[in-house]
């Protein structure tokens, strides 16, 4: 698989297709057995996918044992068997709930050292602020992240759900290697504001939920009863309306001889090329066959006319991309305090 350097010449080299490991332990259905998770990650590396995404916030109770299942821990165990030098690890801090928690100072340092322990490593390739804390000036947060870089605990830093203004202020303190942001055929608001800012600053984009939380595939025939039941697009009449739109993507994929999810990923890379920005999506999966299919999509070419046709499919998408509490921490809603201001 091709490799991409996120964040310019001094940036972080990763595989063109990464992988989100969140759903291995939580949120989209039940966790999968540890040995299957470790095999899935090993097979991903064998397929050329070496860039793995996790977070401090991806922790949940095991439905059987009641014990806490830390997503970082299972990735750490997999990496220990595969070899640390074979992978790039991206993780995020921001408390057990990504929506809260002081994002600075001692808390961040403690969070980082706890993550290192769970990941069984002495350095994190890419450490993100999961959600911007509205009450802590971003300069202070990034200043502490930079101290972690200087200490060798972290190699590169990133932001998630940060507005262009916050990205600029952060980048002035320490180079931001990439911004992780929801981006898919049906979530494209960042193309207006975040993409131009990142392009100008030489920052890469890591699209999260590149498959629309599984909707942009051949597999989601009806709403699920996991956390996705709270996402307005993925329930009720909105689901049906969006499914009717998705049928156009399914038909195009069929005609092209590929899977719907592969076409959704190929669109992202092609759109990144068109907009002149490095894009490294991290589709999440619990299945080896889906992981392999996603990796193969990295070589799928789509023409300008296919790109244009796909880009228009979800112009009429129905429903917000997240529920109310989720949206409150997203970049257009969540404002960051400016040092010295009263607001």
Give me the residues that bind ligand ATR (CB under 6 A), please.
Answer: 20, 22-23, 28, 208-214, 217, 219, 259, 261, 283-287, 290, 293-294
User: CB of 128 within 8 A of CB of 108?
Assistant: no
Task: Report the distance separating Cα 129 and Cα 158, nearest Å.
Answer: 7
- The neighbouring-strand residues paired with 181 are 207
Q: How far is the CB of 258 from ligand ATR (least distance, A)?
A: 10
- Closest CB to ligand ATR among residues 175, 212: 212
- Closest CB to ligand ATR among residues 127, 231: 231
Question: Which residues does 64 contact at the CB level (< 8 Å), separation at least 6?
Answer: none
For residue 144 the two structure tokens come to 């502490």
Task: Report the distance separating Cα 255 and Cα 166, nearest Å.
Answer: 43
- Closest CB to ligand ATR among residues 56, 104: 56
Place of tokens 């597999």: 219
Three-state SS for 19? strand
Place of tokens 């669109």: 267
**Which contacts (CB < 8 Å, 24+ apart) does range 62-71 have?**
62/31, 63/30, 63/31, 69/25, 69/26, 69/31, 70/25, 70/118, 71/21, 71/22, 71/24, 71/25, 71/26
CA distances from 133 to 21, 62, 82, 324, 339 (A): 24, 29, 35, 17, 13
Q: How far is the CB of 282 from ligand ATR (least distance, A)?
A: 6
DSSP 284: B
Q: How far is the CB of 56 from ligand ATR (least distance, A)?
A: 16
- Closest CB to ligand ATR among residues 169, 239: 239
Q: How far is the CB of 178 from ligand ATR (least distance, A)?
A: 15
For residue 219 the two structure tokens come to 């597999």
Q: How far is the CB of 314 from ligand ATR (least distance, A)?
A: 14
Of the candidates 28, 58, 113, 331, the residue annotated as catalytic is 58
Q: How far is the CB of 175 from ligand ATR (least distance, A)?
A: 25
Annotated catalytic, 28? no
User: CB of 177 within 8 A of CB of 158?
Assistant: yes
- Catalytic center residues: 58
């Amino acid at each position: 698989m091709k490799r991409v350097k996120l964040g310019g010449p001094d940036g972080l080299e990763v595989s063109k297709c990464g992988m989100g490991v969140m759903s291995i332990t939580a949120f989209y259905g039940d966790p999968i057995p540890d040995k299957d998770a470790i095999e899935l990650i090993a097979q991903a590396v064998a397929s050329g996918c070496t860039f793995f995404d996790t977070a401090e916030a991806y922790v949940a109770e095991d439905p059987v044992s009641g014990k806490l299942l830390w997503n970082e821990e299972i990735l750490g165990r997999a990496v220990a068997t595969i070899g640390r030098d074979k992978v790039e690890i991206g993780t995020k801090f921001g408390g057990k709930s990504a929506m809260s928690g002081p994002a600075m100072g001692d808390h961040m340092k403690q969070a980082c050292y706890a993550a290192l322990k769970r990941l069984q490593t002495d350095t994190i390739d890419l450490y993100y602020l999961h959600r911007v804390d509205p009450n802590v000036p971003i300069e202070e947060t990034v200043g502490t992240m930079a101290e972690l870089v200087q200490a060798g605990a972290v190699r590169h830093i990133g932001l998630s759900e940060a507005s262009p203004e916050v990205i600029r202020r952060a980048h002035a303190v320490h180079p931001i290697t990439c911004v992780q942001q929801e981006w898919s055929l049906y979530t494209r608001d960042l193309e207006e504001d975040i993409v131009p800012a990142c392009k100008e600053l030489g920052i890469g984009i890591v699209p999260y939920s590149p498959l629309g939380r599984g909707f942009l595939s051949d597999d989601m025939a009806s709403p699920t009863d996991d956390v996705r039941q709270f996402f307005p697009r993925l329930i009720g009449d909105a689901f049906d309306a969006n499914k009717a739109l998705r049928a156009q993507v399914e038909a195009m994929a069929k005609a092209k001889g590929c899977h719907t999810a592969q076409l959704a990923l190929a669109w992202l890379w092609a759109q990144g090329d068109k907009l002149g920005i490095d894009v490294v999506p991290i589709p999440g999966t619990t299945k080896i066959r889906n992981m392999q299919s996603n990796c193969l999509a990295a070589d799928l070419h789509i023409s300008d006319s296919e790109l244009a046709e796909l880009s228009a499919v979800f112009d009429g998408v129905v429903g917000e991309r997240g529920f109310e509490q989720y949206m409150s921490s997203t970049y257009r809603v969540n404002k960051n305090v400016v040092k010295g201001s009263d607001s």
